[in-house]
Amino acid sequence: MILVTGATGNVGREVMTQLPDARPLDRRSGADLAKPETLAGSLDGVDTVFLVWPFLTADGADATLDAIAQHARRIVYLSSSAVHFGPDTDPITRLHADLETAVQESGLEWTILRADTFASNALGWAGQLRAGDVVRGPESAPTAVIDPADIAATAVRVLLEPRPGTTLTVTGPEVLSRADQVAILGAALERELTFEATPFDQARAQLLADGRPAALVEALIGSAERRPRSDLVTSTVQELTGSPARSFREWADGNVDAYK
């Protein structure tokens, strides 16, 4: 039995589609990763856990992993490719680096799956694009943007065919800036779109004015401001799934309805 955390998120939902017999961690039953004492029922009979950590710090991770280790034997943790640059780049990278360490020291048989920037982050521009043809936001260093479905497909292979003690990095096929993504999205929508970079202080103020939690705002702005450009493109998706990683254009073509 495989337990999937984050089962309604961008990646977890895709994992559940591909592994319909897996068990989702269902908070409606009272199970909560922040409360390890509530996890026993969900973990009963579980051999492997796909872990998506939903919090902004690693606080409480050791206790949660202890609870998992009382039932399961294996864990696959969804991390970030930014850990490659070192843990002190930004708050989100620090979080993933800390979780990787906790997972490696948990006593569980582990595999870490480091994913690059999610293509689905571009769904955050939908509101702006329903109102006009300009996307405004903080600039971020280019990375090899990846379709969450490809992350999920790779995760499924690792869940079904264990690769203990390994760290795998999954990326899309090409390095793209935010301006590149907006232009590609415009082609899919048959519109001329432009990206206007917003100064970080202005973006921070806008997010706070929108009611976003301060800790989340600092994590998002810190990531955009300090994470370096990555030219890393891996063949991991192809090697594990037998199919090449999908392009951002393919993702955009499949999600045009989200912008209407």
Tell me if residue 47 falls in helix, strand or coil.
coil
> Which DSSP category does 61 fall into?
H
155 closest CA partner among 142, 145, 170, 135: 170
pLDDT digits (tens, 9 = 90+) for 155-191: 999 999 999 999 999 999 999 999 999 999 999 999 9
**Residue for token digits 């760290």?**
167
pLDDT digits (tens, 9 = 90+) for 10-33: 999 999 999 999 999 977 778 999
pLDDT digits (tens, 9 = 90+) for 39-81: 999 999 999 999 999 998 999 999 999 999 999 999 999 999 9
In sequence order, which residues have a C-beta less than 8 Å from that of residue 57 and are 6 or more positions away?
95, 98
Structure tokens at 132: 């006009």
Residue 209's pLDDT is 87
CATH code: domain 2-259 is 3.40.50.720
Structure tokens at 149: 């479905």
Polymer length in residues for the chain: 260
pLDDT digits (tens, 9 = 90+) for 227-241: 888 899 999 999 999
The pLDDT confidence band at residue 87, using thresholds 50, 70 and 90, is low
Burial 87-103 (b: 16+ CB within 10 A, else e): eebbbbbbbbbbbbebb
Spatial distance between the Cα atoms of 195 and 66, rounded to a whole number of angstroms? 45
